[in-house]
């Protein structure tokens, strides 16, 4: 054996020790997880979970049976977890138990909506429906958990699985965050099924991807009377109408046209009689912005406009933002470094032609609370198969999930986690004298 020049070899060994991760390794994770997720027994298992959840939809902070099902599956997979967090939430752990820590999140709650789709697994709970795909999100995260658990000895850190209640307005993410579930966690990924993109594709963007949101409700009070003698009344309906028209000017006249904002009044309630001017009218709605400053400005101006315009019409008004029940959601902003990581993993798994950059959406997502606290990344996974007919958008009573999306979501979440741990795992210390002894 010839003489080995330690001075020349040492830098090479240091490079491989500090950067043991390679594009090849990431590619192998992506291929391995996608092949595993497409196994018939794994697909059938995820489909069964999703359908069981779909049949028993539960709204925010009432997901007791959903949570019980998840815990049962985690027990079967021999995955440790903590429960309850935020009433029905669960946090599970896979891997070494050491840093780095990476979180994956799925929301669990359904909507107060009657399902209009007639099929074998239609909702059995009247007036409740999984009309936004959260049942699929849970099934995919459990699928990712199964894939990661099968490879747990190869993980270079710890994956945190977040099963979150009350995304639909209840701010479940904030409650879980306040419970300290992301302490020492380096990053978090979340996904959402989409009826806008083809099956086998994903859509996302760096920076703002979804808007921040708030809700308001106002009672405008006047003096009721007979509709035939309006001069004896103080009409709150006319006052409310002026309020609504003026609220539209907050966007059209006060907002920068390049800074997207929305104010929508979606509730207008008075008495039911056709010939009676009511004593009061209740209006309510939502407002959206891509910045916290923009959201707070809209909040202040909404209150000023409602009170001021009501006074012009000789009415009184009170405004509530109901932040205890419906906290303001921040904008969902994707971390730039995680965007690069996502592109690398997604392109390796499904090809660059199936990774699409989308426009920001004015819809809101309480994943934003997580992404505001630590680096976060949220993306949409397509499930459109044109040969199987049109899919209705989320929050429609005719919303359906194309279950062929489940292996893609499970594999992508698992691969994002495993490769993140590989790339961010701390390098072992290296001593020159130990190298010299080995050589």
Which residues line the annotated binding site? 132, 134, 168, 192, 395
Compute the distance between CA of residue 366 and CA of residue 332 in angstroms, rounded to an integer. 8
Measured CA to CA in angstroms, residue 283 lies from 44, 169, 257 at distances of 47, 18, 26
- Token reading at 322: 């109901």
Question: 366 near 212, Cβ under 8 Å?
Answer: no
Burial 283-301 (b: 16+ CB within 10 A, else e): bbbbbbbbbeebbebbbeb
Angle of helix 406-424 versus helix 40-55 axis, rounded to 10: 110
- SS3 call for 188: strand
Measured CA to CA in angstroms, residue 433 lies from 6, 379, 428, 439 at distances of 11, 47, 15, 10
Burial group, residue 184, by CB count within 10 angstroms (0-12, 13-18, 19+): exposed
Residue ranges of the annotated binding site for Mn(2+) are 132, 134, 168, 192, 395
- Token reading at 289: 């912005």
Q: Tokens 């509530």 — which residue?
A: 320
Task: For 34-53, give the DSSP string.
Answer: HHHHTSHHHHHHHHHHHHHH
Task: For 60-84, give the DSSP string.
Answer: TT--HHHHHHHHHHHHHTT-EEEEE
Compute the distance between CA of residue 238 and CA of residue 380 in angstroms, rounded to an integer. 43
- Token reading at 399: 């919303």
Burial 126-159 (b: 16+ CB within 10 A, else e): eebbbbbbbbbbbbbbbbbbbbbbbbeeebbbbb
- Token reading at 231: 């001069």
Compute the distance between CA of residue 252 and CA of residue 23 in angstroms, rounded to an integer. 49
């Amino acid at each position: 054996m010839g003489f080995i020049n330690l001075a020349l070899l040492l830098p090479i060994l240091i490079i491989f020790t500090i950067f043991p991760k390679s594009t090849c390794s990431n590619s192998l994770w992506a291929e391995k997880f996608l092949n595993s997720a497409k196994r018939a027994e794994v697909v059938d298992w995820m489909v069964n979970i999703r359908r069981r959840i779909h049949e028993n939809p539960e709204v925010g902070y009432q997901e007791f049976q959903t949570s019980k099902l998840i815990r049962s599956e985690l027990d079967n997979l021999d995955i440790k977890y903590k429960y309850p967090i935020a009433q029905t939430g669960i946090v599970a752990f896979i891997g070494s138990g050491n840093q780095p820590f990476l979180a994956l999140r799925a929301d669990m709650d359904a909507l107060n909506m009657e399902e209009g789709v007639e099929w074998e697994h239609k909702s059995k709970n009247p007036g409740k429906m999984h009309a936004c795909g959260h049942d699929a999100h849970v099934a995919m995260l459990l699928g990712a958990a199964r894939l990661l658990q099968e490879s747990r000895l190869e993980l270079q850190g710890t994956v945190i699985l977040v099963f979150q209640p009350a995304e639909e307005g209840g701010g479940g993410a904030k409650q879980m965050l306040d419970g300290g579930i992301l302490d020492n966690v380096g990053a978090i990924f979340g996904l959402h099924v989409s009826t806008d993109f083809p099956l086998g594709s994903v859509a996302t963007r760096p920076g703002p991807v979804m808007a921040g949101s708030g809700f308001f409700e106002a009672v405008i009070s006047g003096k009721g009377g007979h509709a035939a003698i309006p001069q004896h009344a103080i009409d709150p309906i006319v006052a409310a109408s002026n309020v609504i028209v003026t609220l539209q000017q907050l966007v059209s006249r006060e907002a920068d046209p390049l800074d997207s904002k929305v104010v929508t009044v979606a509730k207008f309630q008075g008495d039911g009689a056709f010939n009676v001017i009511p004593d009061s009218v209740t209006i309510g709605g939502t407002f959206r912005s891509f910045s916290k400053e923009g959201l707070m400005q809209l909040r202040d101006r909404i209150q000023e406009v409602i009170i001021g315009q009501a006074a012009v019409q000789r009415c009184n008004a009170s405004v509530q933002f109901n932040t205890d029940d419906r906290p303001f959601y921040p904008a969902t902003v994707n971390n730039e470094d995680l965007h690069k990581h996502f592109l690398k993993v997604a392109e390796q798994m499904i090809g660059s032609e199936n990774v699409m950059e989308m426009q920001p959406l004015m819809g809101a997502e309480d994943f934003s609370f997580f992404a505001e606290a630590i680096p976060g990344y949220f993306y949409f996974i397509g499930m459109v198969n044109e040969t199987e007919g049109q899919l209705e958008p989320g929050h429609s009573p005719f919303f359906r999930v194309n279950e062929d999306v489940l292996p893609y979501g499970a594999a992508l979440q698992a691969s994002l986690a495993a490769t993140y741990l590989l790339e961010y795992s701390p390098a072992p210390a290296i001593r020159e004298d130990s190298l010299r002894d080995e050589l």
